Amino acid sequence: MVSETDSSHIVKAGSLNIHYHEVGAGQPLIMLHGAGPGASAWSNFNQNVEAFAARFHCFLVDMPQYGKSDKVVIPGGRLTFLAAFLRDFMDAVDLRQAHFVGNSMGGQAAIKLAIDSPERVDKLVVIGS
């Protein structure tokens, strides 16, 4: 059973403190939550993370302004900011490329990353994005 507490980490991604959960082994899979009130990676994916972790090295990321990550004012376009943040996060955890599962806004951010930096995205699954 995946523990919320034991899988919890903070990393400096660019200038931001970003909270994430890390579980599993295999190819890297970044899981991005939606934008609903109180949303976090854990709240969006805790029910199915064990199934993913059986096959993938999962990173459940609290995006800026959500969960336990820094609450910041986003200058300019949100999706451009989030794509840049995702590159910074990947660099901080030493990932050159990853698969992505994105729910709602998380899917939009992953799509924007794929547009801006296609070499960073292997496979992409989006839900209601």
Residue 1 has a pLDDT of: 77
- Residue whose entry in the numeric block shows the structure tokens 């999962």: 58
pLDDT value, residue 51? 96
The predicted structure's pLDDT at residue 65: 96
**Which token pair is 7?**
């899988």
d(C-alpha 110, C-alpha 38), whole Å: 20
Q: Quick one: which H or E segment has residue 21?
A: strand 16-23
Location of structure tokens 């840049």: 84
- The per-residue pLDDT of the chain, averaged, comes to 96
Q: Output the pLDDT for position 34.
A: 95
The answer to whether 9 and 22 have CB atoms below 8 angstroms apart is: yes
Stated as kind and residue range, the H or E segment containing 78 is helix 78-92
pLDDT value for 4: 85
Angle subtended at Cα 95 by Cα 63 and Cα 8, rounded to the nearest 5 degrees = 45
- Ranges of residues in the chain whose predicted pLDDT is under 70: none
pTM for the whole structure: 0.96
How do residues 3-21 score in pLDDT, each as one tens digit?
A: 888 899 999 999 999 999 9
pLDDT of residue 71: 96
What was the pLDDT predicted at 109?
98
Q: How far, CA to CA in Å, does 114 sit from each of 31, 44, 84, 100, 110? A: 14, 22, 11, 10, 6
- 95 three-class SS: coil
- The residue type of 44 is N
